[in-house]
């Protein structure tokens, strides 16, 4: 885990990290086709080259109000179970390498964050929550049911 | 028939290839139930298939093997090595026979009886084997021994045929001009090509932004052309109309109902739905099994039906519909329905369920038992549907490809099987519609008709909260797409929406109101993320030419969400109703319109093939009778008044009596009405059959007989005249479209004879100076606007003059 590359991003004002191998690319988000009656965290569809990506707002997915935070005009592209997603965040920062194993802190990170995070990693820019794509993308049924 | 036969041969081979491993495994362990099942299915399917070809020997062999295996499955007989050998020998014989069928030769007689006898339980082995036909070499051996050498058996037992086969083998190999490819390879190629098309569109967009660059544009155009060719080819490679499968059913139904002394009418819909070849092969057996079961067990004998107050003739309907990336095929009959009690009793008897399980089962749960292996309700095993092996095969086949099968049944009313077949990656015809500023795609296969808002016929009303429109005299529920999607209503008043009439696979019809229709064309359906699929209103997504993603609506789910689908039992009753209704009402419907003299007029609806709108320059008034060109066909035009045409557009009714056609010009099309009033014969006007009242207004009803007697012609395809253009960029880019729009085709090869040539004046003079012969009429173009006296030239930008000249030549050619 130490030295593995991380893509750093701000989500709902907090510093988060995605494992670089999970991230396919970072794209400029063009037009988004909204999907009526889709869950709130699905912002719509956007085209990348000849592919349609599902645009997912990470802030809403975790349980925050996206309007309270700035929005990066770029998105992180990640693949999950054969579908490709464009993840929208406050800001996409740099690529760093992890300097620690992911670990937990006593008391946890709060319910919302704990659901999507596998722990805290130290990087040279400070500690960040290591996000679990599976939980972020796949775990939506849970939120939908709770809401 | 040859094609069916080839299918049969290919299918049998394929199944055999698939079960070859099973056979070997079964031989090693005869007690293995799963292997037994799969071999049983093989012989069962062969038996079923040769039932409707005339292959009595094949049928007999496979039936015998099936009997023996069925005994093993039910546990009354223990499979032993003698039985295994005997079954394998039968399978080998089947293969040899199939080879002979393919080669089109007779299979040597004899040998079957021994094979069948060998299938008998071993205590019966002592019975005299065969009567007299046994071959001299093996006459002393016991059948089981003969059969042991299974690999050689085909040859041994049928020497003459195997010699023939050896001779014929190389020939068949030479004839074979197809290859088999794994489907994922095709999938990959196809998705690659679709991506290429989208990448091309992207590139085209960028090139347009960058401005004209001749060095790039040329090759790019070529790329485009090649790509569209490749795409067509790939699409055709995989897709096949489901018709190829359905076409065999009427015959199957006829033969089966004759065999069983029943009368069955079959109704097939949706034959033009295109489906992966692979999928078609996959559902061929299931559908055949279901139809067989339905006729054998479902539909009652005519006398029983009459006693129950049903029509004497049973009704079997097969409908295919495309819904996004699924195709549903619905087979429904109006027979006695599935007998739940008997299903449950039977399941108890064969040990599929226990008494306590049964007590807890819902009626639907009981119905689902029919998909369990080893289940059967037929009291006697008939030659037709067999022993319930059918449905477990059906389910197994479908589930393997990610499909599903379900059954609904109402006692005494009918049974309905629904097969869902996935289209993982497919190109379908779709319509793009817009509502509340957003675009959506609808699969074309659902669309019955599109009615534009201006049409008075629609009669949009609200009854309570439900919106209704009137379509062909029936009230049809109407759903505004913006409401269904929870979008903001658009500015357009709800009764001004464009209505797309959609017909569901269950036969229910409803109207969907949208703001506008955009385009229709082939769309490449891609799956959506699970979270989006969960909304239950989308079937996939696709990219428009400009790269914008568009959602494909799942029409069935939307209808179900809004409770538009009627429940099953009323549907079957509806079918009957529709039939009686059409019988009663067939004579009395007419299309109401206002003719060119402003009179309200009607014409019998059966004569109206289509309503056409053409531009007036497609009308030719020069002959004795007016004519017009519609879809590349010249047809006589009736109904124009003396006055010249005032607008650019002309509304026409395209009438047909089946063979000949004609066009009837109308000022305004109103609606279809029922001719309920009395018909008063009108003798003074030859073209009027009668005068009648429609809504208290007198309307003349046109006499179709007289009309066609006078004017009807069998349409002929117009051969467009050919025009040769001068060389050069100007001619190619500016002149060509104009000449084409005037109804000419452009010739480019020097060998083709043209009907007309256009020359630039200077070139024409140069050619004339060289004594060139001009065989065809020539139109000469000059560069200067001012005419030179005495020279019949036309200024190159004098559009009207040029069109007039082109028209004159064309007319002269037509009269020549």
Give bridge partners of residue A85 from the DSSP assignment.
A54, A78
Residue of A29, A50, A79 best to disrupt the B interface, most CBs of B under 10 A: A50
CB contact under 8 Å between B543 and A42, yes or no, is no
What residues in A contact B531, CB-CB < 8 Å? 38-39, 41-42, 54, 56, 137, 140-141
Residue B557: other Cβ atoms inside 10 A: 17
Q: How far is CA B31 from the centre of its chain?
A: 45
- Contact criterion met (CB below 8 Å) for A70 and A91: yes
Q: What pLDDT, on the 0 to 100 scale, is given for residue B476? A: 85
What residues in A contact B523, CB-CB < 8 Å? none
Buried-exposed string B410-448: b where 16+ CB fall within 10 A, e elsewhere = beebbbbbbbbbbbebbbbbbbbbbbbebbbbbbbbbbe
Task: Classify residue B513 as left (phi > 0), alpha (psi -120 to 50) or beta.
Answer: beta
Q: What percent of chain B has pLDDT over 90?
A: 1
Taking CA–CA distances from A34, the nearest residue in chain B reads: B438
CB contact under 8 Å between B532 and A47, yes or no, is no
What residues in B contact A54, CB-CB < 8 Å? 528-529, 531-532
Looking at the whole model, is its pTM more than 0.80?
no
CB contact under 8 Å between B532 and A54, yes or no, is yes
Average confidence (pLDDT) over B706-724: 73
Check whether A88 has a pLDDT greater than 90. Answer: yes
Check whether B252 has a pLDDT greater than 50. Answer: yes
Which range has the worst mean pLDDT, B68-77, B199-208, B585-594, B801-810? B585-594
Q: How confident is the model at residue A45 (pLDDT cuts 50, 70, 90)?
A: very high
Rounded Cα distance, A96 and B341, in Å: 69
CB contact under 8 Å between A38 and B486, yes or no, is no
Which range has the worst mean pLDDT, A13-27, A51-65, B82-96, B382-396? B382-396
Enter the DSSP assignment of B458: G
Check whether B495 has a pLDDT greater than 90. Answer: no
Average confidence (pLDDT) over B454-470: 76
Note the pLDDT tens digit of each residue in B411-432: 888 888 888 887 654 566 788 9
The single residue listed with the structure tokens 């080839």 is: B6
The single residue listed with the structure tokens 């082939």 is: B522
Please report, for residues A1, B26, B88, B115, B155, the alpha-carbon distance to residue B148 in angstroms, rounded to integers and kept in the order given.
63, 14, 9, 12, 13
Taking CA–CA distances from A41, the nearest residue in chain B reads: B531
Taking CA–CA distances from A30, the nearest residue in chain B reads: B548
Q: What pLDDT, on the 0 to 100 scale, is given for residue B580? A: 41
**E-only strand ranges, B358-425:** 404-410, 414-422
- Contact criterion met (CB below 8 Å) for A86 and A76: yes
3-state SS track over B146-199: HHHCHHHHHHHHCHHHHHHHHHHHHHHHHHCCCCCCCHHHHHHHHHHHHHHHHH
Q: What pLDDT, on the 0 to 100 scale, is given for residue B573? A: 35
What residues in B contact A33, CB-CB < 8 Å? 438, 548-551
Check whether B87 has a pLDDT greater than 60. Answer: yes
Check whether B384 has a pLDDT greater than 70. Answer: no
Residue of B487, B531, B542 best to disrupt the A interface, most CBs of A under 10 A: B531
Q: What is the nearest CA distance from B542 to chain A, expressed in angstroms?
A: 8
Average confidence (pLDDT) over A15-29: 90
Which range has the worst mean pLDDT, B7-11, B161-165, B288-292? B161-165
Give bridge partners of residue B635 from the DSSP assignment.
B628
**Considering chain B, what is the average pLDDT of its residues?**
74
Q: What pLDDT, on the 0 to 100 scale, is given for residue A8? A: 92
How are beta strands B649-656 and B668-674 bridged, if at all?
Answer: unpaired
Highest mean predicted confidence (pLDDT) among B222-226, B256-260, B461-465, B633-637:
B222-226
Rounded Cα distance, B715 and B629, in Å: 10
Q: What is the nearest CA distance from A83 to chain B, expressed in angstroms?
A: 6
How are beta strands B314-323 and B264-269 bridged, if at all?
Answer: parallel
Please report, for residues A120, A134, B656, the alpha-carbon distance to residue A108 in angstroms, rounded to integers and kept in the order given.
10, 19, 79
Q: What pLDDT, on the 0 to 100 scale, is given for residue A90? A: 92
Helix H or strand E segment including B461: strand B461-463
CB contact under 8 Å between B528 and A54, yes or no, is yes
Q: What pLDDT, on the 0 to 100 scale, is given for residue B393? A: 67
Check whether B630 has a pLDDT greater than 90. Answer: no
Name the residue facing A54 among B485, B529, B548 (closest C-beta): B529
- Contact criterion met (CB below 8 Å) for B688 and B674: no
Taking CA–CA distances from B194, the nearest residue in chain A reads: A50
Check whether B568 has a pLDDT greater than 60. Answer: no
Higher per-residue confidence, B585 vs B441: B441
Residue of B196, B537, B549 best to disrupt the A interface, most CBs of A under 10 A: B549
How are beta strands B697-702 and B756-760 bridged, if at all?
Answer: unpaired
Helix H or strand E segment including B697: strand B697-702
Name the residue facing B199 among A39, A45, A49 (closest C-beta): A49
The single residue listed with the structure tokens 């379900």 is: B406
**Considering chain A, what is the average pLDDT of its residues?**
84
Q: What pLDDT, on the 0 to 100 scale, is given for residue A9? A: 92
Please report, for residues B62, B112, B150, B158, B774, the alpha-carbon distance to residue B135 in angstroms, rounded to integers and kept in the order given.
21, 11, 16, 8, 83
Rounded Cα distance, A121 and A118, in Å: 9
Enter the DSSP assignment of B529: -
What residues in A contact B532, CB-CB < 8 Å? 35, 38, 42, 54
- Contact criterion met (CB below 8 Å) for A61 and A88: no
3-state SS track over A30-93: CCCECCCCCCCCEEEEEEECCEEEEEEEHHHHHCCCHHHCCCCCEEEEEEECCEEEEEECCEEE
Q: Give the number of A-B residue pairs with CB atoms closer than 8 Å.
A: 73
- Contact criterion met (CB below 8 Å) for B173 and B517: no
- Contact criterion met (CB below 8 Å) for B651 and B669: yes
Check whether B258 has a pLDDT greater than 80. Answer: yes
Q: What pLDDT, on the 0 to 100 scale, is given for residue B402? A: 58
Which range has the worst mean pLDDT, A24-33, B167-176, B563-572, B643-652? B167-176
Q: What percent of chain A has pLDDT over 70?
A: 91
Check whether B814 has a pLDDT greater than 60. Answer: no
CB contact under 8 Å between A35 and B538, yes or no, is yes
Average confidence (pLDDT) over B13-36: 72
Give bridge partners of residue A122 from the DSSP assignment.
A127
Q: Which two tokens stand for residue B557?
A: 């789910």
Residues of B with CB under 8 A from a CB of A: 194-199, 202, 438, 485-487, 526-532, 534-535, 537-538, 541-543, 547-551
CB contact under 8 Å between A37 and B486, yes or no, is yes
Residue B532: other Cβ atoms inside 10 A: 23
Taking CA–CA distances from B199, the nearest residue in chain A reads: A50
- Contact criterion met (CB below 8 Å) for B572 and B332: yes
Q: What pLDDT, on the 0 to 100 scale, is given for residue B155? A: 39
Q: Which two tokens stand for residue B408?
A: 């609904």
Name the residue facing B531 among A34, A50, A140 (closest C-beta): A140
Q: How confident is the model at residue A75 (pLDDT cuts 50, 70, 90)?
A: very high
Residues of A with CB under 8 A from a CB of B: 31, 33-39, 41-42, 45-47, 49-52, 54, 56, 81, 83, 85, 137, 140-141
Q: With the CA atoms of B173, B178, B183 and B187 taken in that order, what torsion angle do they form, in degrees rounded to the nearest 10?
A: 150
Cβ contacts of B135 within 8 Å, gap of 6 or more? B110, B111, B156, B157, B159
ipTM for the predicted complex comes to: 0.87
What residues in B contact A37, CB-CB < 8 Å? 485-486, 535, 537
Higher per-residue confidence, B598 vs A18: A18
Q: What pLDDT, on the 0 to 100 scale, is given for residue B715? A: 62
Helix H or strand E segment including B201: helix B183-210
- Contact criterion met (CB below 8 Å) for A66 and A60: yes
Which range has the worst mean pLDDT, B12-26, B364-378, B574-588, B678-692? B574-588
């Amino acid at each position: 885990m130490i030295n593995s590359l991380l893509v750093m991003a701000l989500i709902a004002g907090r510093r988060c990290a995605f494992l670089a191998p999970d991230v396919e690319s970072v794209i400029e988000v063009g037009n988004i086709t909204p999907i009526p009656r889709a869950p709130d965290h699905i912002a719509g569809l956007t085209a990348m080259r000849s592919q349609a990506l599902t645009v997912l707002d990470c802030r809403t997915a975790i349980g925050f109000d996206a309007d309270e935070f700035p929005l990066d005009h770029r998105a992180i592209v990640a693949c999950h179970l054969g579908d490709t997603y464009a993840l929208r965040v406050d800001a996409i920062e740099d690529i760093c390498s992890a300097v620690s194993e992911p670990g937990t802190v006593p008391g946890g990170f709060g319910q919302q964050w704990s659901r999507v995070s596998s722990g805290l990693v130290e990087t040279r820019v400070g500690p960040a929550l290591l996000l679990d794509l599976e939980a972020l993308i796949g775990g939506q049924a849970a939120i939908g049911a709770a809401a | 028939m040859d094609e069916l036969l080839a299918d049969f041969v290919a299918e049998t081979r394929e199944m055999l290839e698939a079960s070859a491993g099973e056979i070997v495994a079964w031989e090693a362990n005869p007690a293995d139930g799963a292997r037994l099942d799969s071999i049983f299915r093989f012989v069962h399917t062969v038996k079923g298939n040769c039932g409707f070809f005339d292959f009595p020997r094949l049928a007999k062999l496979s039936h015998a093997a099936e009997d023996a295996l069925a005994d093993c499955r039910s546990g009354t007989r223990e499979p032993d090595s003698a039985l295994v050998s005997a079954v394998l020998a039968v399978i080998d014989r089947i293969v040899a026979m199939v080879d002979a069928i393919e080669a089109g030769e007779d299979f040597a007689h004899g040998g079957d009886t021994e094979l069948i006898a060998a299938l008998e339980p071993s205590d019966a082995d002592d019975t005299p084997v065969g009567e007299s036909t046994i071959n001299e070499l093996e006459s002393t051996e016991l059948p089981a021994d003969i059969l042991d050498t299974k690999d050689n058996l085909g040859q041994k037992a049928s020497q003459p045929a195997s010699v023939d086969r050896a001779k014929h083998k190389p020939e068949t190999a030479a004839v074979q001009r197809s290859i088999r490819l794994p489907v994922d390879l095709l999938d990959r190629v196809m998705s690659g090509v679709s991506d290429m098309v989208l990448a091309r569109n992207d590139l085209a967009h960028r090139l347009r932004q960058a401005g004209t660059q001749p060095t790039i544009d040329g090759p790019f155009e070529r790329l485009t052309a090649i790509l569209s060719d490749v795409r067509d080819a790939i699409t055709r490679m995989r897709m096949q109309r489901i018709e190829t499968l359905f076409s065999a059913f009427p015959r199957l139904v006829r033969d089966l109902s004759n065999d069983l002394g029943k009368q069955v009418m079959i109704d097939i819909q949706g034959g033009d739905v295109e489906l992966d070849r692979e999928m078609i092969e996959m559902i061929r057996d299931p559908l055949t099994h279901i139809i067989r079961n339905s006729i054998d067990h479902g539909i009652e004998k005519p006398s029983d039906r009459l006693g129950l107050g049903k029509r004497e003739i049973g009704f079997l309907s097969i409908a295919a519909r495309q819904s996004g990336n699924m195709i549903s095929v619905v087979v429904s009959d109006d027979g006695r329905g599935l007998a739940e009690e008997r299903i449950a009793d039977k399941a108890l008897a064969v040990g599929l369920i226990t008494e306590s399980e049964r007590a807890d089962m819902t009626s639907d749960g009981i119905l689902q038992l029919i998909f369990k292996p080893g289940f059967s309700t037929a009291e006697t095993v008939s030659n037709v549907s067999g022993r319930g092996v059918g449905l477990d095969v059906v389910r197994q086949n479908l589930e393997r490809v990610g499909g599903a099968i379900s059954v609904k049944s109402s006692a005494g009313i009918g049974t309905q099987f629904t097969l869902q077949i996935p289209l993982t990656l497919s190109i379908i015809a779709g319509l793009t519609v817009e509502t509340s500023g957003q675009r959506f795609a609808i699969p074309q296969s659902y669309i019955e008709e599109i009615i534009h808002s201006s049409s008075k016929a629609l009669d949009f009303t609200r009854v309570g909260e439900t919106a209704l429109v009137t379509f062909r005299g029936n009230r049809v529920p109407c759903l505004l797409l913006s409401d269904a999607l929870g979008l903001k209503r658009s500015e357009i008043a709800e009764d001004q929406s464009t209505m797309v009439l959609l017909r569901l696979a269950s036969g229910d019809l409803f109207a969907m109101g949208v703001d506008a229709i955009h385009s229709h064309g082939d769309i490449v359906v891609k799956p959506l993320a699970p979270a989006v699929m969960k909304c239950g209103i989308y079937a996939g997504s696709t990219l428009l030419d400009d790269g914008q993603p568009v959602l494909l609506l799942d029409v069935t789910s939307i209808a179900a969400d809004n409770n538009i689908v009627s429940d099953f039992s009323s549907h079957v009753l509806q079918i009957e109703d529709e039939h009686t209704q059409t019988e009663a009402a067939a004579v009395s419907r007419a299309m109401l319109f206002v003719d060119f003299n402003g009179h309200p007029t009607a014409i019998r609806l059966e004569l109206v093939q289509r309503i056409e709108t053409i531009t007036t320059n497609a009308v030719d008034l020069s002959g004795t009778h007016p004519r017009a060109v519609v879809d590349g066909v010249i047809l006589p035009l009736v109904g124009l008044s003396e006055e010249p045409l005032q607008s650019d557009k002309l509304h026409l009714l395209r009438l047909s009596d089946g063979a000949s056609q004609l066009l009837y010009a109308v000022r305004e099309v109103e609606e279809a009405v029922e001719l309920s009033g009395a018909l008063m014969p009108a003798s003074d006007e030859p073209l009027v059959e009668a005068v009648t009242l429609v809504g208290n207004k007198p309307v003349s009803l046109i006499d179709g007989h007289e009309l066609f007697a006078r004017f009807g012609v069998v349409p002929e395809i117009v051969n467009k005249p050919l025009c040769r253009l001068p060389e050069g960029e100007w001619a190619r880019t500016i002149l060509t479209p104009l000449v084409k729009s005037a109804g000419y085709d452009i010739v480019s090869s020097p060998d083709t004879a043209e009907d007309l040539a256009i020359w630039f004046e200077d070139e024409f003079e140069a050619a004339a100076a060289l004594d060139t012969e001009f065989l065809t009429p020539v139109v000469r173009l000059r560069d200067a606007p001012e005419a030179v006296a005495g020279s019949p030239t036309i200024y190159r930008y004098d559009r009207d003059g040029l069109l007039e000249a082109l028209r004159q030549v064309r007319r002269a050619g037509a009269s020549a």
